[in-house]
Structure 1
């Protein structure tokens, strides 16, 4: 008799079984909450200072559509296989080689967690005019507190998102309405001329690069999707619509009030209390997803299901980094992420569709090499090209890594064929 799957278990080291799959609403609202992120609105604010309204709309659509499609392809693979990115890394990087992707993906999430923890503490001290001595205790409070829903697992993340997303959405739409009124309606918005400049490459890099690391690890939830259609649609809802909304809200405020910080914009609109609530919910719905991602990578690295303990360890490390000044390192951190994370997704896509012909073997019974040098080599080429690229670095990293994987895979196959022929002739 087959035992029914435990719906409270998050399967950090195995495929998600059919009985634990979720519907479109659950998956979409969780990803929607994940993409509600203050840093994305700040990136939108930078664009709002540099573009007129029409150009801003097209740049946002282009960047977020690329991001949504990237997340959707990975989401389809995750749903089809039941695996997240770190588990798929065992196939494309090898049993030991996958620890590289575990480390990189875990490192990025700890960095984001530290930035979010530091940001909310610093902003609250400033807005509420609290003594500076409150900053570190608040970082400790939020650093450990935000991890509680992630400690519970998918169920906790889902519950928080169902409450927080509608509340945040209402606050942001209210802010947009006020900004439209203050600008003099649509005619006033169209008449606003940018005070700064930015080329399209930089705009796409900002839109795509700010959350591409999140899109790479959204497989932690799309693997729970009931079917491929659910995975693809929920990815587009989160990363095309949700991330697009964050970009537009940040840009909107910057255009009208010449202020790229959405919290400052809401204060100018007389929404100080709402701004505090929005900031708290905004960061919490991203923080718990972020530390959940870290725990998934950590479980795969040590090959043990210790998700709860690793969640708390990650929250503690993130809190220490926040106290150490992570909030001052956002821009260098984003540049680094745009180079080292997207190539992982490129290798995963190429390995699934080309290397494994759209079907992974069962993870528990697969005979995996210690190192898959094709995947590791393709990743290295993608990361190097992304880092030195004058064009959109994340896209360059994905494309170079995927194409390099296909080329190296074919070269390895041709070499193996030649060796086999030589053995037969001998």
Structure 2
């Protein structure tokens, strides 16, 4: 038995309705907060956000979102490789061995760029081992370990340790 197209369309609309009402509601809340719009105008702002979302979807802007998410999925995970290596290998998993660094730890940034670059190459299909995220974490971990071992006494590692109190005052 064939389902009439109008019934299939109604099922599709009703199935996506609950998901997209949440999306429109959240975008309306965010827009009101970002632009300091009064809460009494939120229904109108939510409607405008919903219409803008539909227009962007029809225009095909959602296709670019996949590229953006792929780039984020490749570039962000290698940060974890640097952090894991610093805590578990360099500081030997003891919090008393860790302290904030004055300035910028360029070794960590360089290792992150190396891991993220490798993961981006993997996302583009140039090289493939496991997954771009996992490989980026592993490469950043190894790069940080090697670079820190070679350059820990240079300005690339920051310009000395700070106390927790100093770090908290800098953060404020």
What TM-score do the two structures reach when normalised by structure 1?
0.23
Q: How far apart are 1:368 and its partner, in Å?
A: 2.2
Report matched runs for 1:17-416 at 5 Å: 126-128=12-14, 139-144=23-28, 313=34, 323=53, 324-325=56-57, 327-361=62-96, 366-389=99-122, 390-391=127-128, 392-413=131-152
Q: Deviations over 1:207-246 (max 9, x none)?
A: xxxxxxxxxxxxxxxxxxxxxxxxxxxxxxxxxxxxxxxx
Give the 3 Å change call, closer, same or farther, for CA 142–378 of structure 1 in structure 2: same
Q: Deviations over 1:300-320 (max 9, x none)?
A: xxxxxxxxxxxx55xx9xx69
Q: Identify which of structures 1 and 2 has the higher relative contact order when contacts are C-alpha pairs closer than 8 Å and 6+ apart.
A: 1
Q: How far apart in 2 are the matches of 1:411 and 1:357?
A: 17
**Count of aligned positions:** 117
Q: How far apart are 1:128 and its partner, in Å?
A: 2.9
Q: How far apart in 1 are the matches of 2:100 and 2:79?
A: 21
Q: How far apart in 1 are the matches of 2:24 and 2:147?
A: 47
Asked if the contact 2:91/2:97 (under 8 Å) is kept, the reply is no
Equivalent position SS for 2:136: helix
Q: Deviations over 1:261-308 (max 9, x none)?
A: xxxxxxxxxxxxxxxxxxxxxxxxxxxxxxxxxxxxxxxxxxxxxxxx
Equivalent position SS for 1:128: helix
Q: Deviations over 1:351-391 (max 9, x none)?
A: 1112222123599xx44222001111100100111111221
2:3 is matched with none
Equivalent position SS for 2:104: coil
CA RMSD of aligned residues (A): 4.0
What TM-score do the two structures reach when normalised by structure 2?
0.52
Equivalent position SS for 2:148: helix
Q: How far apart are 1:412 and its partner, in Å?
A: 1.4
Unaligned runs of at least 5 residues, structure 1: 1-123, 131-135, 148-311, 417-426
Asked if the contact 2:74/2:119 (under 8 Å) is kept, the reply is yes
Asked if the contact 2:115/2:137 (under 8 Å) is kept, the reply is yes
Give the 3 Å change call, closer, same or farther, for CA 129–415 of structure 1 in structure 2: closer
Asked if the contact 2:115/2:136 (under 8 Å) is kept, the reply is yes
Q: How far apart in 1 are the matches of 2:28 and 2:95?
A: 37
**Which structure: larger Rg?**
2
Give the 3 Å change call, closer, same or farther, for CA 143–125 of structure 1 in structure 2: farther
Q: How far apart in 2 are the matches of 1:333 and 1:143?
A: 19
Give the 3 Å change call, closer, same or farther, for CA 367–387 of structure 1 in structure 2: closer
Q: How far apart in 2 are the matches of 1:351 and 1:407?
A: 11
Q: How far apart are 1:341 and its partner, in Å?
A: 1.2
